[in-house]
Structure 1
Amino acid sequence: MTDEMRTGTRIRSVSRAAHLLMLIASLPEPDRSVNRLAKELGTSVPTVYHLLNTLVDAKLLARDERKQYRFGFAMEVLSAAYAQQTVPPPELLAPLRWITDATGESAYLSAWRSGNPVVLAHLAGTHAVQVTDLRPGYRGAANARASGKVLLAFAEPADRERYLAMHPLESMTPKTITDPAVLERELARVAKNGYATDIEEFSVGVACIAVPIWSNGIVMGCYTISAPVQRYRQHKARYLASLREAVQMLGDQPATQPQEGVGDPA
């Protein structure tokens, strides 16, 4: 078997088209000029026009009356299919394994699926003392979970408002946030600090800390560490550093990380 057969043929035009779609997704509308797209792709303006026209023909893009390119209705089909997919992207699992190896604690991968913050994967830690497991597929009590707070804090405002309007704030323990105003302040702090915690808000005796996973300026999910409260309080800084190192493995993360705010919970 040749090297090409083993690795698979790469078609340059397809790669450029995929990159172009990602650029359109990540750039603000005023910045989506053909010249800007050509510069970002490292190619010529005529080539970008060829790619754009091909994507319009495929209904992946549409050209409006202002001659602006935006996503076409075929993207809705792809988006809906992705939103229903509960199998985690393989590239996100290696950093998840690294988290458990580095900390010895249980780790989770969560993301938005069909309008809900859903646990996609869970790896048990190696410490003798384990905590209550959240199995893949769990989608409740976003207000009580560190992962739920991260996904809510970094969601589009309309998506967050829609979720909160449809899901009453569940009380899982006496420490769960059930006041909408308090939750709003908590989510603002999460957005500022770049991570979320829950200290016995979901399960008594258990604490969690979660960080977002970015791709092209969009939060694609989050990683979470879960540990007994006492061990969490001793190692919170190390857990946070490990989570951030894990997301850096994926690349395309913010160049600087927010720092802990004043009065941040232990």
Structure 2
Amino acid sequence: MRLLESVARHEHGAPAKQLAREAGLALPTAYHLLRTLAHEGYLRREKGLFFLGEAAERLSSSGAGQKRRSKVADALAGWHDAIGAPVYYAIYRDGEIEVQCVADTPGNPAVEEWADFRETGHAHAIGQCLLSQLDDEARRDHLDRYPVQSLTPYTVRDDHILMRRLESTPRMHPVIERQEYVLGTVCAAVPITMGGTAAAMAISMPSHQADRLLPAARRLQSEIGELLGTLSLSISI
């Protein structure tokens, strides 16, 4: 690891003797470790100089992804504490609904995914919010793959009603869903504009707290700007 750290400090490469000295290793030991690291793809050698290899770069990319994930999770946890409700972050990627992060507590648990979120986008606020940001062709493609189905007595009844609802949703307004995915729960989702990617943040509450839902969603929407840069980066996670 010390050798890898030493190599990482030298953008234009470094010879074995210098790396051994910086890592505090005997030269024979350093030579052996450098050859092993190069063989495994963590380093590459060119004209007597060592550089980071593809395997090390993958580790770096993974670490950066974890750091971005941590920033998103911390922000969601802060909003959960401030609002007193579970907070969700989701995107629409490659034709699928992806819930990327959820902040909840035992006292304010997230909605249990009893029916696959990807297949039931018509029935929950996250899915409706993401679908409302797509063009007509993309929406129809999604519904062809995941047809409308009744999950509760309040679920939208068919594709035509859902399409009209999505088309009439005001741009950048919160999407409200009341007991359509699961009885006893109401949800609100806020659309997020990030280039060509549809994204949303959402909250859920017990249905007896429905009067808190819209004010909480608007508060969340007003504070999202602080995190937009991190959310944009997290699309690549």
Q: Is the 8 A contact 1:145 1:198 kept in 2?
A: yes
Give the structure 2 partner of residue 247 of structure 1: 224
Task: Check if 1:205 corresponds to 2:173.
Answer: no
Q: Which runs of 4+ in 1 moved over 4 A?
A: 86-89
CA distance in 2, matches of 1:93, 1:129: 16
In structure 2, do the counterparts of structure 1 residues 183 and 87 end up closer, same or farther at CA, with 3 Å as the change threshold?
farther
5+ residue gaps, structure 2, are 1-5, 11-64, 230-237
Task: Check if 1:156 corresponds to 2:135.
Answer: yes
CA distance in 1, matches of 2:189, 2:127: 9
CA distance in 1, matches of 2:67, 2:87: 14
Deviations 1:44-99 (A, max 9, x none): xxxxxxxxxxxxxxxxxxxxxxxxxxxxxxxxxxxxxxxxxx98953543432222
State the shift of 1:110 in Å: 1.2
Q: Is the 8 A contact 1:106 1:125 kept in 2?
A: yes
State the shift of 1:173 in Å: 0.4
Give the structure 2 partner of residue 228 of structure 1: 206
Give the structure 2 partner of residue 106 of structure 1: 86
- Normalising by structure 1, we get a TM-score of 0.54
5+ residue gaps, structure 1, are 10-85, 253-266
- Normalising by structure 2, we get a TM-score of 0.61
CA distance in 2, matches of 1:95, 1:152: 24
Amino acid in structure 1 at the alignment position of 2:81:
D
In structure 2, do the counterparts of structure 1 residues 192 and 138 end up closer, same or farther at CA, with 3 Å as the change threshold?
closer
Task: Check if 1:142 corresponds to 2:121.
Answer: yes
Q: Is the 8 A contact 1:130 1:228 kept in 2?
A: no
Give the structure 1 partner of residue 3 of structure 2: none
**How high is the sequence identity, in percent, across the aligned residues?**
22
For the aligned residue pairs, the C-alpha RMSD in angstroms reads 3.1
CA distance in 2, matches of 1:149, 1:89: 26
State the shift of 1:234 in Å: 2.4
Aligned residues: 167
Q: How does 1:76-95 map to 2 (within 5 A)?
A: 90=69, 91-95=71-75
Q: How does 1:1-266 map to 2 (within 5 A)?
A: 90=69, 91-125=71-105, 128=107, 130=109, 132-134=111-113, 138-192=117-171, 194-216=173-195, 218-231=196-209, 233-251=210-228
